[in-house]
Amino acid sequence: MVFDTVFSRSQFPHQAWDIAFFENAGGTFVPNTVISRLTDYMTESQVQPGANFPKSKLAESRMILGHSLVAQMLAVPDNEIVISASTSMNVYVLAKALRHHWKRGDEIIISQLNHEANSGPWRCLEEYGIKIIEWPIDPELGEISVSELENLLSDKTRLVAFPHVSNITGTINDIELITKKVHSVGGLVCVDGVAYAPHRMIDVKKWDVDFYLFSFYKVFGPHLGCLYGKEKHLTEAKGQYHYFVDEKNTSLKLNPAGPDHASISALAGIADYFEILSNHHFNSPKNTLFENVKSVYELTETHEESLSKKFLDFLLTKSNIRVFGKHSWSKKSRCATFSITSNKKKSAEISKLVGEDKVGIGSGHFYAKRVVQELGVSDPDDGVVRCSMAHYNTKEEVDLLIKSLDKIL
């Protein structure tokens, strides 16, 4: 079965397709279902939730539904997810919440492949005597080595922070193997799944991860971040909200900014969108939301693979650029995110020129400045040129991207 991009694109505002959009790693377009859920909340129930009158009860029920459907998409209990402003905020709060369980001399291993969201907050714990251990990347390949991690692990390891996928290289790390290695010494893992979630199905129970994070605005939703955590760990974490919030209320105690009522209600629209795709493509959808979403991702993986192979093959014909990440395509080892640098033009200049052709790409370090520096990019602030795809992109759009880059590079 082939993924129906025409149908998928019909679920979005038509203005989305005014350009060929390839900066999806920075944030995807939002389908009509999400916009409708947000609009309904703000026009019909924009009041403080939880009070004993109809509009307030409606607001509360819509927020509960949004939260619950996210949990169902992940096949986890409601109390194992925290929804707040962003992934950066979630890691910052989590680091503060966990530090009370650790003592001076305990160690946190941080992958140099991390986006700053899963790096900076843990580094802040140095002031409390926590020792930070660097898990280096290969400066040529832009990859992390599991065997090198094994040499860093010890009985002092309390947590290892690493990305499921690099938002620069697009390389998929072996999350199950890494987690097993860390658990073998009694450590925890905190995995940044932001660059993975738009392209592959999340299965935290299968991977046995302790903490997993992603951003809804990169999976067709509003600007919010999601933290999954095993119930035991979230319960034991020290609350970071008001003193009177119940420590057993895991979804609230780790959200000091408080929930964004309307946006949380709009999360139901992501589930709506995937259900629409499932019903369109399959005569007999599965029984659970998790299974339906998984079936859709299996289709979109194959579609993105065809687009990515075409684009990667083009990039590898250019002798005057550096292509970061793997130079061969495999669904198991690479996502549809590609970064390059040119020895002729600045990254910002390239993205500007491509934009003049009504093709949207990005440039910079994308909050992964440490990664860009470790990869030896001469000007880390100018950074790389990044082209990233989503399942609604088409072959014709990839052709436009290639045509534009071909005359510039």
Q: Where are the strands (E) in 262-342, listed by range?
A: 321-323, 337-342
Between 315 and 1, whose confidence is greater? 315
Report the helix count and the strand count for the chain, using DSSP H and E.
Answer: 16, 13
User: What is d(CA 351, CA 374) in angstroms, rounded to the nearest whole number?
Assistant: 22
Q: Given this model, what pLDDT does residue 391 score?
A: 98
In the chain, the percentage of residues whose pLDDT exceeds 90 is 97
Q: Given this model, what pLDDT does residue 21 score?
A: 98
41-45, 231-235, 329-333: which has the minimum mean pLDDT?
Answer: 329-333
Question: Residue with structure tokens 């096949």?
Answer: 75
User: What is d(CA 62, CA 169) in angstroms, rounded to the nearest whole number?
Assistant: 38
pLDDT tens track for 236-254? 999 999 999 999 999 999 9
User: What is d(CA 18, CA 381) in angstroms, rounded to the nearest whole number?
Assistant: 29
Q: Where are the strands (E) in 248-398, listed by range?
A: 321-323, 337-342, 359-360, 362-364, 384-388
Instruction: Identify which of 137, 138, 178, 133 has the alpha carbon closest to the alpha carbon of residue 154.
Output: 133
The β-bridge relationship of strands 107-111 and 157-163 is parallel
In the predicted model, is pLDDT for residue 257 greater than 90? Answer: no
In the predicted model, is pLDDT for residue 286 greater than 80? Answer: no
User: What is d(CA 64, CA 46) in angstroms, rounded to the nearest whole number?
Assistant: 15
User: What is d(CA 355, CA 365) in angstroms, rounded to the nearest whole number?
Assistant: 18
**Mean pLDDT score, 339-363:** 98
Q: Given this model, what pLDDT does residue 167 score?
A: 98
**Mean pLDDT score, 299-327:** 97
* C-alpha pair distances (Å), 333 with each of 102, 161, 175, 327: 34, 19, 11, 11
In the chain, the percentage of residues whose pLDDT exceeds 70 is 100
pLDDT band at 27 (very low <50, low <70, confident <90, very high): very high
User: What is d(CA 25, CA 27) in angstroms, rounded to the nearest whole number?
Assistant: 6
In the predicted model, is pLDDT for residue 64 greater than 90? Answer: yes
Domains 5-30+289-408 and 38-270 share a fold: no
Instruction: Identify which of 247, 227, 242, 233 has the alpha carbon closest to the alpha carbon of residue 101.
Output: 233
Q: What is the dihedral of CA 153, 228, 277, 263, to 10 degrees?
A: -140
Phi, psi of 81 (to 5 degrees): -130, 145
Q: Given this model, what pLDDT does residue 318 score?
A: 96
Tell me the domain boundaries of the chain: 5-30+289-408, 38-270
User: What is d(CA 390, CA 407) in angstroms, rounded to the nearest whole number?
Assistant: 24
375: DSSP letter: T
Would you say 277 and 303 are in contact if contact means Cβ atoms under 8 Å apart? Answer: no
Instruction: Identify which of 158, 195, 160 has the alpha carbon closest to the alpha carbon of residue 23.
Output: 195
pLDDT band at 399 (very low <50, low <70, confident <90, very high): very high
Q: Given this model, what pLDDT does residue 283 score?
A: 84
pLDDT tens track for 107-146? 999 999 999 999 999 999 999 999 999 999 999 989 999 9
User: What is d(CA 95, CA 127) in angstroms, rounded to the nearest whole number?
Assistant: 13
Q: Given this model, what pLDDT does residue 258 score?
A: 85
Which residues have CB under 8 Å from 193's CB, separation 6+?
163, 164, 165, 202, 212, 213, 214
Per DSSP, the three-state class of 333 is: coil
In the predicted model, is pLDDT for residue 228 greater than 90? Answer: yes
Mean pLDDT rounded to a whole number for the chain: 97
pLDDT band at 284 (very low <50, low <70, confident <90, very high): confident
pLDDT band at 321 (very low <50, low <70, confident <90, very high): very high
**Mean pLDDT score, 192-215:** 98
**Mean pLDDT score, 354-372:** 98
Class of domain 5-30+289-408: alpha beta
Tell me the CATH number for domain 38-270.
3.40.640.10
First to last CA, the chain: 36
Phi, psi of 169 (to 5 degrees): -90, -20
**Mean pLDDT score, 48-74:** 97
204-209 own/partner pairs: CB under 8 Å, 24+ apart:
204/74, 204/76, 204/228, 205/75, 205/76, 206/176, 207/175, 207/176, 207/179, 208/176, 208/179, 208/180, 208/183, 209/175, 209/179
Instruction: Identify which of 222, 170, 191, 201 has the alpha carbon closest to the alpha carbon of residue 333.
Output: 170
Q: Given this model, what pLDDT does residue 287 score?
A: 83
**Mean pLDDT score, 272-300:** 93
